[in-house]
Chains A and B, each alone.
Chain A
Amino acid sequence: MVSVIWLIFIAVGSFFFIGTGNIDVLNEEILKGGADGIKLLTEMLPLLVLWTGIMQIAEDAHLLDLFAKLVRPVLCKLFPSLPKDHPALGYIASNIAANALGLGSAATPFGLKAMECLQKDNPEKDTATEAMITFLVLNTGGVTLVPTTVIALRLSYGSVHPSEIIITSILATLCSNVSGLIYDYFKRRKRK
């Protein structure tokens, strides 16, 4: 799947560049693509390292277990294929919490850890498990309670009520998430 998206992006973009006679710009894009990737990584790296450090403390203090226990009843309904004490549930819970608080980049380390835990019990290492798909549906839906970046940008452009969009954006997110989960649910049932 990722291969197909990758191919479409590169092929469509390249052909359009050539078709519009911007071969020199395309040339430049290809040459600096790697540098942009490294730039994004170096922007992510410090925070990622810091957060995984902090979260290791939370893990060693059994805070993640505690939090996972709180949201377990809900998560167990969403992830019927996982045993109730699966370590991935703690990371999934933390990932959702960090996303909800608008700490997007802080959520990534938890998410990657959750995937790692799920992958350990995966019998077919190249195929996504049910739990992985449900987790990613939850994650890409992005349940954001406080869209901090949007509010910050609105403020900097002189909005009188920068946070007036919180409720409407939560409503839109809920529509998106619930429909994603329903879609996933029916797909799963069809497969069985």
Chain B
Amino acid sequence: MNSNYIVPIFVLFIILYGFKKKVNIYDSFLVGAKDGLLTTFRIAPAVIAMVFATNIFLNSHFLEFVFSYFTPILKALNIPISVIPMALVRPISGTASLAIMSNIFELYGPDSFVGRLASNLQGCTDTTIYVLALYFGSVKITKTKHALSAGLFADAVGIIAAFVITFLFFG
């Protein structure tokens, strides 16, 4: 299946369906677009706050420093070291983990074991911390109960699953 078709078909279908149902599609679009603009302004402070903090955290290379201590263990377990920073960064920043993934592709190739592992790591979960901050921030919720622990638990399972499944399918 060519994924290039998904977006155009989606858009066309909605507009044609709306027209057929006698919706004033142009006016509806304007109402929704205005809503989107206001939403963007409402989430702007939360986005800026999060980008500010993740920039400092990721660019300090603290993660690389921490994982350098685990190198011998990882070697013993036969886990490629280069994917560890990616797994650690994945829940925090999608852009950062994408950057590490393309770096791995460049060094080892996308069809290598490490390349496939990186692809599955990127696909196995979303940027939990960013999404939580954005969504809760947009409605001003500060007491989040077990949302973070559930999200991180799911991430951890996803990351382990990505390792195991890649070993099973491509190992």
Contacts and interface: CB of A to CB of B under 8 A. Distances in A.
A139 B150 contact: no
A157 B125 CA distance: 22
B60 A16 contact: yes
A1 B148 contact: yes
Interface in A18-62: 20, 22, 25-26, 29-30, 32-34, 36-38, 40-41, 44-45, 48-62
Nearest to B22: A61
Interface string A159-192: 1111011011111110111011001100100000
A78 to B, nearest CB: 13
Given A61-B18, A176-B161, A126 B141 contact: yes
A151 B145 contact: no
A29 B56 contact: yes
| Overall SS of chain B's interface | helix
A17 interface: yes
B145 A128 contact: yes
A157 B110 contact: yes
B111 to A, nearest CB: 5
Contacts of B77: none
B84 interface: no
A46 B29 CA distance: 14
Nearest to B162: A172
Interface in B116-159: 116, 119-120, 122-129, 131-151, 153-155, 157-158
A61 B14 contact: yes
Given A165-B116, A175-B158, A125 B65 contact: no
A81 interface: no
B57 A154 contact: no
B141 A168 contact: no
Interface of A: 1-3, 5-6, 8-10, 12-14, 16-17, 20, 22, 25-26, 29-30, 32-34, 36-38, 40-41, 44-45, 48-63, 99, 101-104, 106, 108-109, 111-112, 115-116, 118-119, 124-128, 132-133, 136-137, 139-142, 144, 146-151, 153-154, 157-162, 164-165, 167-173, 175-177, 179-180, 183-184, 187
